[in-house]
Amino acid sequence: MKTIKNLGRGFSKRVVLLLSGIILAFAMPQMASAHCDSYDGPVIKDAMVALEQQNVELVLKWVEPKYEGVITDKFNQTLRLLGSNEEVNEVVRAHFLETLVRLHREGEGASFTGLKPMGSMTPMVGMADNSLEVNNIDVVADKVASHLVEVLKERFAKAFELSKTKDNSVEQGRAYVEAYVEYTHTMEALEHILHGSMHH
């Protein structure tokens, strides 16, 4: 049976990319929630287009049905208040955006800590958004696959090497336990992503 030591050679690129795709599919809800409060995130982008086109339906998908009335009322109020004073408009728009994002996050069971500036999202989340825009998962999958293999091999190698001296002393035993926990917890995290709940 092949060990993790041979993971890089034993898995074909197709299998590794498939694993990466599965991980991304299960992780996407969490990734989306991680940047939905950013000005360059999808929620606020849709909201700005909705205000420009005066079409509230473009943002209703981001909230649960029970919040549709609240968002629609706030949207219409925002349109009425927008005028020629850009400073006032910024405040009015921000109030609507805060309400929209707060209710979106409430639907996810997440707290709202305020709107975040552009550039707040992590590079990986940015890559995920871009992959959807260009309809190409290859770049993200390659990066995830490469990093995943590297992390697993490094943590396995460390735990395996320290296992050779784990009974020599308490200190060496603790060093092994730390490496063992790090390695096995990584595997548990992967198992949770692959077989756990897809709830936000």
Is there a single domain that holds both residue 89 and residue 141? Answer: no
Inside any domain, residue 54: yes
Is there a single domain that holds both residue 99 and residue 156? Answer: no
Residue 9 has pLDDT above 50, yes or no: no
Is there a single domain that holds both residue 67 and residue 47? Answer: yes
Is there a single domain that holds both residue 75 and residue 106? Answer: yes
Inside any domain, residue 20: no
Enter the DSSP assignment of 166: T
Is there a single domain that holds both residue 50 and residue 117? Answer: yes
Inside any domain, residue 151: yes
Inside any domain, residue 76: yes
Nearest to 7 by CA among 110, 147, 136: 147
3-12, 42-51, 104-113: which range is least confident on average?
3-12
Total domains in the fold of the chain: 2
Enter the DSSP assignment of 40: T
Domain end among 94, 121, 148: 121
Is there a single domain that holds both residue 49 and residue 100? Answer: yes
Six-digit token string for 94: 């921000």
Is there a single domain that holds both residue 47 and residue 112? Answer: yes
Inside any domain, residue 18: no
Is there a single domain that holds both residue 114 and residue 157? Answer: no
Phi and psi torsions of 116, nearest 5°: -105, 145
> Which pLDDT belongs to residue 20?
54
Inside any domain, residue 32: no
pLDDT, tens digit, for every residue of 26-78? 444 444 455 678 888 888 999 999 999 999 999 999 999 999 999 999 999 99
Enter the DSSP assignment of 135: T
Range of the domain at 82: 42-121
Is there a single domain that holds both residue 49 and residue 98? Answer: yes
Inside any domain, residue 26: no
Torsion of CA 100, 106, 111, 112, to 10 degrees: 10
Nearest to 5 by CA among 150, 148, 153, 149: 153
Mean of pLDDT values over 117-127: 71
Is there a single domain that holds both residue 51 and residue 116? Answer: yes
Strand partners, 38: 116
Average pLDDT, rounded, for the chain? 80
Is there a single domain that holds both residue 135 and residue 117? Answer: no
Is there a single domain that holds both residue 111 and residue 48? Answer: yes
